[in-house]
């Protein structure tokens, strides 16, 4: 009797092409992703329905939370130049190494007199240091000078006007926000962005 | 005699060593699984972590009060929003003394402020059309009090964008009557919410 040989089909498919595509996409996403760094002053931004994205550069962020204001500028060279201008104004000296470190730092919230201690810390310790916020009262308005000098530095280096974003905590009382807006308006900065979270469509 | 035969298929013919063909295929399923998991992770984290922002333009601050140009607007078109404590807002249209819409307390959100805003927007539009100027929409004056918080401000600005209010302004001055209106009411729980 002739045995009929069943042609057994192999169940395994060739995964090579799929693997290629998957890793190509993975590489793409890893390269385009920006690492999320823990903020020195964690704030819970209120939600809104607007979809405008913040610009990637030429941006200064003022983080307002718990009555404190933290300051951050995008771009390493703009940061270094801002620090140089501030150092001239307040007569606080920073070494080249300090400037280099400051260029890589995230947002900070200390008076310029104690900025050097923050620069010397490890990145992990900076967030735990309990920074008191940048002075913003009328006697010692360092925040206004930081904004002003960052704008000057940005125009010098990037030849573009610096955009200002206010990142406020949802529970922050209005007078604190108003104080920051007033400081901006004193410099004739009348247009700025409010950083908000994304509100889901179902909440409409 | 002393030979050790390792190959069993040789059969002793001429000493041909056959190396066994190794299967060159590797099972890539696990690798693909992992890759797609990572892709999903990176896709979700990159698109969601970009912060949103709303841009806000404020009018020029006049340093000298005498330079201010008094601009008269039709009081029928102005809706004032007083932002108070406990997530409550009071709205009225026209002057507080002779309001076109009596002051009332509303909550934030879809059923509170937005409903009233839409109603008032229609009312103002009807009024302007009756006057023959249908392009003159509602003007909303937002007055945040010291007790309101930042979330309230963003919520109100968001409502402006949703409802499509053509003109709105943030004003920080409170007239004594407005302050009294905001303070004067009993606890918000006692206010019947229409």
Helix (H) or strand (E) holding B46, with range, is: helix B29-48
* Average pLDDT in chain A: 80
Residue B16's pLDDT is 67
Other beta carbons less than 10 A from residue B124's beta carbon: 23
pTM of the model: 0.69
Q: What is the pLDDT of residues B38-80, one digit of tens each?
A: 888 888 777 655 667 777 777 776 655 555 555 666 777 778 8
What's the gap in Å between the CA of B27 and the closest CA on chain A? 8
Residue B192's pLDDT is 46
Angle, helices A96-104 vs A76-90, to 10°: value is: 130
Inform me whether the C-beta atom of residue B169 falls under 8 Å from chain A C-beta atoms.
no
- What's the Cα-to-Cα distance from B151 to each of B49, B54, B91, B92, rounded to whole Å? 20, 13, 18, 21
Q: How many CB pairs under 8 A join A and B?
A: 151
Inform me whether the C-beta atom of residue A42 falls under 8 Å from chain B C-beta atoms.
no
Q: Give the mean model confidence (pLDDT) for residues A159-172.
A: 83
- Give me the interface pTM, i.e. the ipTM: 0.70
Query: pLDDT-based confidence at B185, cuts 50/70/90?
Result: low
- Percentage of residues in chain A having pLDDT higher than 90: 0
Lowest mean pLDDT among A7-11, A35-39, A172-176, B169-173: A35-39
Inform me whether the C-beta atom of residue A16 falls under 8 Å from chain B C-beta atoms.
yes
Dihedral sign, Cα of residue A90, residue A92, residue A97, residue A102: negative
Could you tell me which chain A residue has the CA closest to the CA of B171?
Answer: A178
Inform me whether the pLDDT recorded for B11 exceeds 50: no
Nearest by Cα to A109 from A184, A48, A160, A180: A180
Which two three-digit tokens encode residue B46?
Answer: 């990159």
Residue B187's pLDDT is 43
Q: What is the pLDDT of residues A80-106, one digit of tens each?
A: 888 888 888 888 888 888 888 888 777
Q: Give the mean model confidence (pLDDT) for residues A7-26.
A: 82
C-alpha span between B123 and B137 (Å, rounded):
10
DSSP secondary structure letters along B22-33: PP-----HHHHH
Interface test with B, best of A26, A27, A184 (most B CBs within 10 A): A26
Residue A133's pLDDT is 81
Residues 97-126 of A with CB under 8 A from B: none
Q: Give the mean model confidence (pLDDT) for residues A64-89.
A: 84
- Looking only at the bridges linking them, the beta strands covering B99-107 and B167-170 are unpaired
Inform me whether the pLDDT recorded for A111 exceeds 80: yes
Which residues, 6+ apart, have CB-to-CB distance to B17 below 8 Å? B7, B10
Interface test with A, best of B81, B150, B153, B182 (most A CBs within 10 A): B150
Residues 69-108 of B with CB under 8 A from A: 83
Q: Give the mean model confidence (pLDDT) for residues B186-190.
A: 43
Q: Give the mean model confidence (pLDDT) for residues A170-192.
A: 82
* Average pLDDT in chain B: 73
In DSSP terms, A192 is beta-bridged to B56
Q: Provide the b/e sequence for A32-62 (b: ≥16 CB within 10 Å).
A: eeeeeeebbbebebbbbbbeeebeeebbbbb
SS (H, E, C) B100-120: EEEEEEEECCCCCHHHHHHHH
């Amino acid at each position: 009797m002739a045995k009929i040989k069943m042609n057994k089909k192999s169940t395994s498919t060739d995964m090579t092409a799929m693997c290629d595509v998957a890793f190509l996409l993975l590489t793409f996403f890893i390269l385009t992703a920006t690492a999320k760094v823990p903020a020195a002053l964690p704030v819970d931004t209120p939600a809104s329905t607007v979809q405008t994205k913040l610009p990637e550069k030429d941006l200064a962020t003022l983080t307002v939370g718990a009555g404190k204001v933290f300051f951050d500028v995008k771009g390493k060279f703009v940061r270094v130049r801002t620090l140089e201008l501030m150092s001239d104004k307040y007569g606080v000296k920073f070494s080249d190494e300090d400037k280099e470190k400051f260029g890589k730092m995230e947002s900070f919230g200390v008076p310029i007199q104690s900025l050097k201690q923050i620069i010397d810390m490890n990145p992990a310790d900076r967030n735990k240091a309990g920074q008191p916020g940048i002075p913003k009262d009328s006697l010692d308005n360092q925040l206004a000078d930081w904004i002003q000098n960052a704008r000057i530095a940005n125009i010098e280096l990037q030849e573009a006007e610096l955009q200002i974003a206010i990142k406020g905590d949802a529970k922050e009382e209005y007078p604190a926000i108003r104080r920051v807006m007033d400081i901006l308006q004193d410099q004739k900065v009348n247009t700025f962005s409010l950083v908000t979270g994304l509100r889901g469509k179902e909440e409409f | 005699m002393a030979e050790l035969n390792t190959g069993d298929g040789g059969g002793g013919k001429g000493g041909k060593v056959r190396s066994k063909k190794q299967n060159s295929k590797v099972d890539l399923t696990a690798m693909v699984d992992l890759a797609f998991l990572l892709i999903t992770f990176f896709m979700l984290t990159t698109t969601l972590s970009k912060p949103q922002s709303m841009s806000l333009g404020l009018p020029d601050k006049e340093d000298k009060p005498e330079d201010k140009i008094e601009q008269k607007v039709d009081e029928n078109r102005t809706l004032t929003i007083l932002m108070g404590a406990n997530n409550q807002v009071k709205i009225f249209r026209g002057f507080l003394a002779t309001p076109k819409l009596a002051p009332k307390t509303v909550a934030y959100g879809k059923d509170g402020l937005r409903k009233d805003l839409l109603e008032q927007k229609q009312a103002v539009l009807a009024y302007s059309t009756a006057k023959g100027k249908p392009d003159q929409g509602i003007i909303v004056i937002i007055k945040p009090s010291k007790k309101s918080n930042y979330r309230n401000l963003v919520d109100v600005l968001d409502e402006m964008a949703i409802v499509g209010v053509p003109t709105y302004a943030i004003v920080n001055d409170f007239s004594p009557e407005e302050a009294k209106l905001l303070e004067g009411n009993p606890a918000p729980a006692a206010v019947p919410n229409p």
